[in-house]
Amino acid sequence: MFDKETYVQRRALLKKNIGSGVLLFLGNDEQGLNYEDNAFRYRQDSTFLYYFGLSFAGLSAIIDIDEDKEIIFGDELTIDHIVWMGTQPTLKEKSERVGIRETLPSVAIISYLHKAVQKGQTVHYLPPYRPEHKLKLMDWLGIPPARQEGSVPFIRAVVAQRNYKSAEEIAEIEKACDVTADMHIKAMEVIRPGMYEYEVVAEMNRVAEMNNCELSFPTIATINGQTLHNHYHGNKIKSGDLFLIDAGAELPSGYCGDMSSTVPADKTFTSKQRAVYEIQNAMHLESVKALRPGIPYMEVYDLSARVMVEGLKGLGLMKGNADDAVREGAHALFYPHGLGHMMGLDVHDMENLGEVWVGYNGQPKSTQFGRKSQRLAIPLEPGFVHTVEPGIYFIPELIDMWKEGKKFTDFINYDKLEEYRDFGGIRNEEDYLITETGARRLGKKIPLTPEEVEALR
């Protein structure tokens, strides 16, 4: 938690930006894994954390702008809770830590909301992403789940604050990035042919837990890097494999890191692996060089794609004009995701509020394959924290589908591509802060060039 005044100021700015109405904040509840008392790891809603700072289950809150009230709703622990969970501060003591003086029992929120509606007040809420949120909105406000889209003024006001990271937030994110880097470096050090993927993951988890961190998302650690979100860890690593890692640490404060790396199972890359790796490396380095205030991140994405096309032309896999190939979407056979996303209290920051608001400022997203997965398109501004993660992948099923449909034959050499169909995938990722004059990498440097990776092997 930050100092009490941080949360007081955040709420004051939010009230000023919205102007009137009642703001409803739904905290997260415990969720049973396979029965109620055996729960998933608890994680508080990030917007609740941002404005109220309390990582406890069973809380909700209201900011009544019209009545100038800020209330946290929750229930005090019973003796049964204390027996199993130990002594804890009272709800009032917890709330006072973040500058909230008024607390009420959980059930009281229903009558409060009903009275607000009867008075003609607008009740603002954010798009729900958990089943219990949807049930509460239906019970408390009578809104069926199919119509629970959230309040656009509330969404935009939250985005307008959370997109810009303060100095204390940046310090937390950098701590998370340091641990994240150590997780990747440890994995690079231990990977050997004959190990199982889960053995590498265990070493990474050990680094996180030794630093009192959780994982910011389920770890990707796989010899099948062509599958973008591969969470299976049961394969045996073989000589000749490429091993793709995408993993991050989350601090107790909730702030995250997110990095990717790709490493050969052997001590060195094969000549084919190195050639593709160097193209991906060039995509990454050119993207980083372009980072500065004012540049639309979609332009940086296009730059990374053009660099890839030119590189793959050198291997005989693509042909034709690179600008045309990227504009028409031919590059997405090898690069089917975006260049990066905002990062902070969520590893994909505020994704539940909608990418159209967070990364596009309300403008429509492209529907083109590959480009539609770009989460951040708006001009970069000082205070933004985001990832840079271009990739190159050889996905057999996608190759076969495009070849059969004769897609982009002016740009793709399908005959040559057969030599690479079992290659796998390569992704490297770092986290950057946009500054007044450019950009700064957050966290320790992880090996990036082929030489740096091989030196660690």
3-state secondary structure (DSSP) of residue 39: strand
The pLDDT confidence band at residue 82, using thresholds 50, 70 and 90, is confident
243-256 pLDDT, tens digit each: 999 999 999 999 99
pLDDT in tens, 184-220: 999 999 999 999 999 999 999 999 999 999 999 999 9
Of 138, 163, 188, which residue sits at a domain end? 163
- How far, in Å, CA of 25 to CA of 7, rounded? 14
Please tell me whether residues 244 and 131 are part of one structural domain: no
**Pair (300, 237) in one structural domain:** yes
Cα-flanking dihedrals φ and ψ of residue 432, to 5°?
A: -130, 145
Candidates 311, 317, 249; CA nearest to 280 is 311
pLDDT at site 77: 87
451's enclosing H/E stretch is helix 450-456
**pLDDT at residue 85 tops 90:** no
Q: Within this chain, do residues 19 and 149 fall inside the same structural domain, yes or no? A: yes
Kindly state the DSSP code that residue 77 receives in the 8-state scheme: P
Is residue 227 domain-shared with residue 315, that is, in the same domain? yes
Is the backbone of residue 59 left (phi > 0), alpha (psi -120 to 50) or beta? beta
pLDDT attached to residue 100: 98
Query: Using CB atoms within 10 A of its CB, is residue 283 exposed (0-12), middle (13-18) or buried (19+)?
Result: buried
Residues 214, 41 contacting (CB under 8 angstroms): yes
How much is the average pLDDT of 268-273?
98
Give SS3 for 275.
helix
Residues in the chain: 457
The span from the CA of 398 to the CA of 337, in Å, is 13
Residues 158 and 185 placed together within one structural domain of the fold: no
CATH number reported for the structural domain that contains residue 298 in this entry = 3.90.230.10
Percent of the chain, pLDDT > 70? 100
CATH number of the domain bearing residue 33: 3.40.350.10
- Cα(110)–Cα(429) distance, integer angstroms: 45
Number of domains in the chain: 2
Domain co-membership, 197 together with 87: no
Span 329-348, pLDDT tens digits: 999 999 999 999 999 999 99
Same domain, 152 and 231: no
Same domain, 141 and 182: no
How sure is the predictor about 321, in pLDDT bands with cuts at 50, 70 and 90? very high
Q: What percent of the chain has pLDDT over 90?
A: 96
Distance CA(222)–CA(196), nearest Å, equals: 10
Residue ending a domain, among 163, 189, 205, is: 163
Pair (154, 177) in one structural domain: no
Same domain, 314 and 347: yes
Q: For residue 308, what pLDDT band results from cuts at 50, 70 and 90?
A: very high
Taking residues 375-380, report their average pLDDT. 98
* pLDDT tens digits, one per residue of 392-449: 999 999 999 999 999 999 999 999 999 999 999 999 999 999 999 999 999 999 999 9
Residue 87: per-residue pLDDT: 87
- pLDDT(232) > 90: yes
Q: Is the pLDDT of residue 124 over 90?
A: yes
Where a domain ends, among 163, 181, 202? 163
Q: What tens digit of pLDDT does each residue of 103-121 get?
A: 999 999 999 999 999 999 9
Can you tell me the distance from the alpha carbon of 256 to that of 348, in angstroms, rounded to the nearest whole number? Answer: 9
Domain holding 155, by residue range, is: 4-163
Q: What is the mean pLDDT of the chain?
A: 97
- Confidence band, pLDDT 50/70/90 cuts, at residue 287: very high
End-to-end alpha carbon distance in the chain = 39
Is 173 found in the same domain as 91?
no
Same-domain check for residues 151 and 226: no
